[in-house]
Structure 1
Amino acid sequence: MKRMRTILNIGYPNPLESPEVLLPKVRYLRVLDLHGASFEKLPNMIGELLHLRYLDLSCNRSLSVLPLCITELYNLQTFLLRGCESLKELPRGFRKLVNLRCLDIFDCNSMTHMPPGMNSMTYLNKLTMFLVGGTSSACCLRPVGAGGLSDLKYLNNLTGSMEIKVHRGLTYDTAEAKKGGHLIHKQNLRGINICWTQKLCGMENSRFIEDDSEGANAEALLHGLQPHPNLKLFGLWDYPGVRFPSWGSSLVNNLEACLPNIVEIELYGCKRLEHLPLLSQLRYLKSLELVGLIKLEYVESIYGDEAPTASVVSRKAVSVADDLVFFPSLEKLVLGNLQELKGWWRSSLHLDTDSGNSEAEPFTKSFPRLSYLHIWLCWNLTDIPLCPKLEKLELSRFNKALGPITRPRSERRCVGDVRSSSTESNRLYPGDDSPSTSSTRQTQQEQQQQQILGGLKEVKIDKVGYLKSLPHESFQSLSHLVVRGDHDMESLTEEAGEVFRSGRLSSLHSLVISDCSNLKRLSGEGVWEHLTALKSLHLKLLSELELDDDYGDLNTRGCTTEDNHGIDTDIPWKYLYQTLHSLVLWYLPKLVKLPKGMNCLSSLQFLQITNCDNFEALPSWIACFSCLQSLVIRNCKQLKSLPEEICHLGSLQQLDLRGCSPVLKERCQESTGADWPKIQHIPRIDV
């Protein structure tokens, strides 16, 4: 092994040998991969591997200290420590590694500071995390043992993405932060996440009071972290400030000027943030996630030293296009836990346009490219702007009055300080109210109504009855529907039944009904006959569901006759026998056996029954599933044997019985089990 140059730990998580035994044998190593090995410390011998270029110690969760001799690896270019959760610090002489190009310390959550002298590591082009050091009575950081924010200024060759972590409860040099220039010259850095965290040196259980002084310190720190205009991704997590950094919120120096190329923005847990800059005018922004901004009232608002006059609004909006597009390039939007969110923009802010119309809506078009919209825990939001390209919609714990913004303002709940008057415009497009334009306006509104939510392809919702309030045209392309957490739905009648009977779901290929704790029955008159394209049905976490046991005339093999006469017209299986290919039953406590009406599913190819504690036996008519290719029954402890008829499933390629009773496992043992002759024709068997 003396001349060996590369060692890779492909036996993760258990290496072949411990470092103490391995390292003395391989002094000329260039590449050493010990990721995922379970050791608490490295031997000093590692400092003698002077030729080492690549060292991977990632995911060593017990590693708490690195030996000082590791700073003698002068040729080291790549050092991976990602996921070393117990590692407390990097050695104080770390700056000696002047040839280091890549340092990955992401998810090293026990670290509190960077080593001193990082400013000399100018060859570094990838640094996944930078810790802003500070002082605290609860966690003493030696002045000579911790690097400062100023070190970041000199690392101008950084590429990729980096997280900047700020520990709350520490005191920072705000004067140094206000000088700025820490990120502005890093033209190759593509992503920055700035995160405030409370976890630090015994402070895990402490709670910090979000006062004005802490917010002011945070704002000063963030002011000095203005990125380079080339930045593509910006994230802000648990920021305790009230205002967005001045480099983004000033009406003179707006965010569009500072980050003209930004593509993705994530704002999470910024509980005191009350206003946002003009995000809608970022012409390349494709993804926006706003979660946990509990004081935010409007997605679009204006604030700062300059008063939010109509001329200011007009100047900012017209810079995008003459028709005032709201988020022109946005493709993904997530709004979560915005408890005070009232609307998309302040309705009291009107535009002064050249036409003299001073009371038009701020934007004539909205979300022209939005394809994914997720709204949850936004109880006060009642409007959705036009989303003509929307394909995926997720709604949970939302205001059931949520509706299209194209409705006349007089018919919607007033949001913000909006004056009601007979002269106020109720249109999306500015214009006059002359009779000659009324017909055209009506046609425009009808076209808008058809494009409110575009051609939806996937919907996830916790109130299926809400779908009946949306335009029928939005569902023409809907192929996937998930109903999760609708605890008011007891059966597919009333509101839920209306959605199914309306024909909105006629193009549906996949239906998932999950975590509906009060759902008792699937049957319902006229409910299933419109699902003429359904291929996949998943029923999950339905503690009260009882599958109907109605059935019709059976032939000699126990299968329902081809014309299906005699089957209760309310149950689903009659209408799915030609199209349904996949059926998943997951955690149905009241499922004891498969309903006999299910025997008409002659096109079924995949059947999964999982975590059904009371499921006792497969039916004797199992051979009716003549096209079945995969049968998965897991964690069904009451299943103790297989029916004789399973041997007639000639298309079956996979049988998975893992987690069922020990009795069944014994009966399915190869050659010796009582049920083995019934299943020996199946190519793949897992018990």
Structure 2
Amino acid sequence: MAAELVGGAFLSAIIQTLFDKLATREMVDFIRGVKHDIGLNLLDKLKIALRSVDALVNHAEERQTTDLHTREWLNDLKDIMFKAEDLMDEISVLASSRKLEAYSGSSSIRKVSCPSLGRFREKMESIIENFENLVKQKDVLGLREGVDEKTFKNFQTTSLVGKSSIYGRNADKDNVIKHLLSASNDFSFRFEGHRNNYPSKRTRYMSYSKLQLDDLEKMMATCENLRTFLPSQVLSWPRCLNNEAVSSLISKHRSLRILSLSHCGNFTVVPDFLGDLIHLRYLDLSVTPISKLPESTCSLHNLQTLLLLNCACLAELPQKMGRLTNLRCLDIRGTKLSEIPLQMGNLTNLQTLTGYVLGSEGGSGIEELKNFPFLKGKISISNLQNIIDPQEAIKENLLRNMQLDRLMLSWSANADDSKNVRNILHWLEPPKTLKKLTIRNFGSTSFPPWLGDFQFLKLASICLYDCVNCVLLPTLGQLPSLKALSLVGFSSVIYVDEVFYNKSSMEMKQFQRQEITPFKCLETLHFENMPQWQEWLPFREEKGDEKLAFPCLKQLYIKYCPQLKAVNWIQKLPTLEKIVIEKCEQLEVAVPPNIRELQLECCEKASIQRPLPRLLNLTISSYNEVESLFQVIDNGSSCIQKLRISSCPLTQKLPCNGIANTLKSLNLTNCENIEFPMNQCFSYLESLCISCSCNSLRSFTIDMFPKMAHLEIRRCQNLESLVVSGVQAQNLQSLNSLKICECPNFVSFPEGGLAAPNLTNLHLEKCKNLNSLPCQMNKLLPSLMTLNLKECPELESFSEGGLPDSLNFLEIFHCAKLFTNREKWNLQKLPSLRSFAIAGSCQDEESFPERWLLPPTLTSFHILALWNLKYLYEDNLQRMTSLETLGIACCPKLQYMPAKLPSSISSLHIMTSICSIIPHIGCKCNATCWIYIWLIFCFFLCSVVSMIPKWKIGNSTEPFEDYIGLRVVVRYLQHAPQALVGLHLHHFGHDPDSPCHAAKPR
């Protein structure tokens, strides 16, 4: 029943859409242009045919679950409807083009070629004939017109299924819901990487979560008229969607309505024939390295959504963007656009425009904003310094009547015409519905009156950045809903006084009579980079008494205000929970007793005179009074859970008697002379990081921390060992991660081994005297998944018994002695090992890896900086039947790649000398199979590329001959894996004696 509802709603929606399009004025006017009223007769016939099939749809939907012939009839009907909708689109686009050409004066409205009309007439006649043929089949199929619709009347066609109303048989329920939400099994397809499951010729809507080159080619060969192509989720960009693949997709599927190429990192050039997708409604090119859009984009008259978010290389838009009159949404955040093209004001249907960039010459002016009456949501207007005459350009308040809730206004950093800037901001008063306002580089000395107007009832966030000429902060205390305020870069402000809270004295009296509290809803206040600021006065009533402002303030940030002196009055704020003070050397502050988080950095005069019983998080950096601070807070009543101390001149034992039973996280950085209290039991400490600190620490008793989950010791110069004092098997249950880095004297782990049954990550780096790993790792570390061993030159072997079976990821970098003893590793016995990387360990070896070294379960294998490596063992690689990624980097002598690679490989990365390896790839094999090779050079790009056509691969007689940009399509090996997506070659060095050095760039 539910399936019938879905299908019925789907078909009814298409039929209704066709009726609506047939009734539009542009359709009727266009058809009237056909001689002898042939067009109008065709319109009438099409309407009759639609009504005839519409009358049969309900009964057909009712019978399709039991009658395969009826289901096929419905599928044929959908096919014809899709074609009819395409035809309506084509006519609509042509009609729009004629209208635009007539408007521009470039041609007459009657100048339409007869062949175009004839082509449309032939298509419409064919569609009508197909509809009539379907109607003729009703008697054969037993379909009746006007079937009672009681089956459908009690159900909502807009809500497909309510999950909460289905009970029992959960697996079947999930399958049914998945089936229903697909709208039509034959027409919708989702590819998730299953090689035996590909779309059919009827597929119109396709999504994917995993996509590789051969999958794309097979799907494109099967599908004929896709309408939707988009990722179901963005996990990583699909490498196979490069310029050629996208061009093939666009050229074959001209009926696309929805196209998403978001996050396609290999898609760099948008093809000119993008404009042929005249049916396109939604185009997403976000996070792609494209630098421009072709002018043909302006032919997409049906386009409603264009997403260019974070296209960091995009520097310009097509000049005729104003032709996209149906555009509703344009997102250009994160681009390099320097201006918006002329005639953008023609886009009168725009509802979302994230950015409006004013050009210095030739671009759209600010006055065109008045043509966007439906604009809503958020907009950023930048380069406001390009407005020369604000009163002439802005004859009325452009933004006041828009439905905006977020607005950002910005000038260039060197805009300094104070009067002109202030007038511009005056005329850009936003609507009273605004919720968030951001202003950057405002160059005037004062703000216009509307900023801070209490009539902005919904304004909750204000951010003002780099207003360097302002001598007074704007009056913002009257805003009734303001919750977050950031004031950054007010270089000329010296005093913050009553103007910050109220306006003129007369308004102030009225303000007080109404008993309105300044900043009554403000929760977060941020001051930063105000080098001249000296004094912050509290709010006072006319009679002189202090009246409480900021009654709801929770967080206060004061950063880089070196001349600010006393703000002791903030201790009276009842709700203040977090204070952050950085680089305020003169600031005297009294901390409220109820504070929960405190950060002090480079503030010599900030002091705490009384206990802080509610303090949870404390961060102290470059603070000379840390010892006196602890005398106050470490009194037994503290409940500090997170403590971070850095660059403080402590010369005694860390004073933590009062917080040892509450502390959960402790971080000590750049405190070399501090003494760590190893005789103190930290009952609840979960995370400990010691970096460049505690030089007196020689042994670390690890079982003094029964709750410890993460331990990191870095650059502790005299640390020699980890030890245990009790029964470690019971006391190290919580340890999950252990990192010891750059401890040159560290030599040993606890005698008998490190019994940490839940340890998953062990990282040892730059411990130059360490010669052994913990004992019995295979038994005492049963959960270990990641092992990183880096630059431990004296490390000789793994512990007796080998590594634990649970190991999943192994890195061995620059451990020469350990590499020499690799025959004892027994990695081939590790059932869970999936990723292995080796670097900088091979001194004399010319080939690698040996047959017995690695397990067949490996999926990722990387070889780095093996300077003498010349060969890769082909047979050994073939044994890795699960290998998906093979990476080789900085192996300058590598000359020969295996002729055969495992068929499971999907990604091959070679980052080494191009000149040495290219001539020898697969030198013993026939070149009959195509793959794509991306050549990415760091240096001497043109010189290397100029040599490519001269190189041969294997026995092939064909050189590298077709390269576009950095992509070269080559004939490769007969045995190349079918799943291979790309061979990435990176040139990190250059041999001056190589032939590439003398080649001239093209």
**TM-score normalised by the chain length of structure 2:** 0.51
* Structure 2 counterpart of 1:609: 739
Distance, in Å, in 2 between the alignment partners of 1:470 and 1:147 is: 63
How many Å apart are 1:387 and its aligned residue? 3.8
785, 791, 807: which one pairs with 1:654? 785
- Judged with a 3 Å threshold, the aligned counterparts in structure 2 of structure 1 residues 104 and 593 are, in CA distance, closer, same or farther, namely farther
Residue 372 of structure 2 is aligned to residue 155 of structure 1: yes
Distance, in Å, in 2 between the alignment partners of 1:630 and 1:591 is: 27
How many Å apart are 1:129 and its aligned residue? 0.9
* Structure 1 counterpart of 2:618: 459
Whichever of the two has the greater Rg, that structure is 2
* 1:501-545 residue CA offsets vs partner (Å, 9 max, x unmatched): 5x367533222233x3x533333599x56x5533222234x2x54
578, 581, 584: which one pairs with 2:706? 578
Distance, in Å, in 1 between the alignment partners of 2:637 and 2:685 is: 14
How many Å apart are 1:28 and its aligned residue? 0.9
Residue 787 of structure 2 is aligned to residue 590 of structure 1: no
Contact 1:646 1:679 in 2 (8 A): no
Query: Following superposition of structure 1 onto structure 2, how do residues 450-529 of structure 1 map, counting pairs within 5 Å?
Result: 455-463=614-622, 465=625, 467=629, 476-483=638-645, 486-492=646-652, 497=654, 500=656, 503=658, 507-514=662-669, 516=670, 518-523=671-676
**Structure 2: unaligned runs, 5 residues or longer:** 1-222, 594-608, 806-821, 838-1002
* Structure 2 counterpart of 1:367: 550
Which region of structure 1 is more displaced relative to structure 2, 122-131 or 619-628?
619-628
* Structure 2 counterpart of 1:201: none
* Structure 2 counterpart of 1:556: none
* Structure 1 counterpart of 2:229: 7
Distance, in Å, in 2 between the alignment partners of 1:400 and 1:625 is: 51
Residue 834 of structure 2 is aligned to residue 674 of structure 1: no
- Judged with a 3 Å threshold, the aligned counterparts in structure 2 of structure 1 residues 618 and 268 are, in CA distance, closer, same or farther, namely farther
What secondary structure sits across from 1:403 in the alignment? coil
How many Å apart are 1:27 and its aligned residue? 0.9
What secondary structure sits across from 2:406 in the alignment? strand
How many Å apart are 1:150 and its aligned residue? 0.9
* 1:332-356 residue CA offsets vs partner (Å, 9 max, x unmatched): 22222222333443x5x7422xxxx
Distance, in Å, in 2 between the alignment partners of 1:491 and 1:276 is: 43
AA aligned to 1:351 is E
Residue 776 of structure 2 is aligned to residue 645 of structure 1: yes
751, 766, 779: which one pairs with 1:621? 751
Q: Percent identity?
A: 24
* Structure 1 counterpart of 2:559: 376
* Structure 1 counterpart of 2:508: 313
How many Å apart are 1:64 and its aligned residue? 2.5
445, 465, 474: which one pairs with 1:277? 474
Contact 1:397 1:462 in 2 (8 A): no
Contact 2:466 2:489 in 1 (8 A): yes
Query: Following superposition of structure 1 onto structure 2, how do residues 255-334 of structure 1 map, counting pairs within 5 Å?
Result: 255-257=453-455, 259-302=456-499, 308-309=504-505, 312-317=507-512, 319=514, 321=516, 324=517, 326-334=518-526
Distance, in Å, in 1 between the alignment partners of 2:513 and 2:718 is: 61
* Structure 2 counterpart of 1:225: 428
* Structure 2 counterpart of 1:42: 270
**Structure 1: unaligned runs, 5 residues or longer:** 135-140, 199-207, 249-253, 353-357, 408-448, 552-559, 561-572
How many Å apart are 1:104 and its aligned residue? 0.7
Query: Following superposition of structure 1 onto structure 2, how do residues 123-138 of structure 1 map, counting pairs within 5 Å?
Result: 123-134=349-360
Distance, in Å, in 2 between the alignment partners of 1:185 and 1:469 is: 59
How many Å apart are 1:79 and its aligned residue? 0.5
* Structure 1 counterpart of 2:576: 390
Which region of structure 1 is more displaced relative to structure 2, 65-74 or 172-181?
172-181
Which region of structure 1 is more displaced relative to structure 2, 35-44 or 73-82?
35-44
Structure in which a larger fraction of residues adopt helix: 2
* 1:616-661 residue CA offsets vs partner (Å, 9 max, x unmatched): 6551437354454223306547467523333342453433316556
Contact 1:275 1:301 in 2 (8 A): no
- Judged with a 3 Å threshold, the aligned counterparts in structure 2 of structure 1 residues 48 and 388 are, in CA distance, closer, same or farther, namely same
Computed over aligned residues only, the root mean square deviation of the Cα atoms, in angstroms, reads: 4.0
Distance, in Å, in 1 between the alignment partners of 2:746 and 2:620 is: 33
**TM-score normalised by the chain length of structure 1:** 0.72
AA aligned to 1:276 is L
Contact 1:6 1:31 in 2 (8 A): yes
Distance, in Å, in 2 between the alignment partners of 1:635 and 1:340 is: 46
Contact 1:255 1:277 in 2 (8 A): no
Contact 1:52 1:73 in 2 (8 A): yes
Which region of structure 1 is more displaced relative to structure 2, 469-478 or 327-336?
469-478
Distance, in Å, in 2 between the alignment partners of 1:454 and 1:72 is: 68
Contact 1:277 1:300 in 2 (8 A): no
- Judged with a 3 Å threshold, the aligned counterparts in structure 2 of structure 1 residues 670 and 479 are, in CA distance, closer, same or farther, namely closer
- Judged with a 3 Å threshold, the aligned counterparts in structure 2 of structure 1 residues 473 and 51 are, in CA distance, closer, same or farther, namely farther
- Judged with a 3 Å threshold, the aligned counterparts in structure 2 of structure 1 residues 512 and 641 are, in CA distance, closer, same or farther, namely same
What secondary structure sits across from 1:404 in the alignment? coil
How many Å apart are 1:266 and its aligned residue? 1.2
Query: Following superposition of structure 1 onto structure 2, how do residues 411-422 of structure 1 map, counting pairs within 5 Å?
Result: none
Contact 1:180 1:223 in 2 (8 A): no
AA aligned to 1:644 is C
Contact 2:228 2:259 in 1 (8 A): yes
Query: Following superposition of structure 1 onto structure 2, how do residues 5-154 of structure 1 map, counting pairs within 5 Å?
Result: 5-8=227-230, 12=237, 14-18=239-243, 19-35=246-262, 36-61=264-289, 63-109=290-336, 111-134=337-360, 141-142=361-362, 146-154=363-371
AA aligned to 1:536 is S
Q: Which has the higher contact order (CA 8 A, sep 6+)?
A: 1
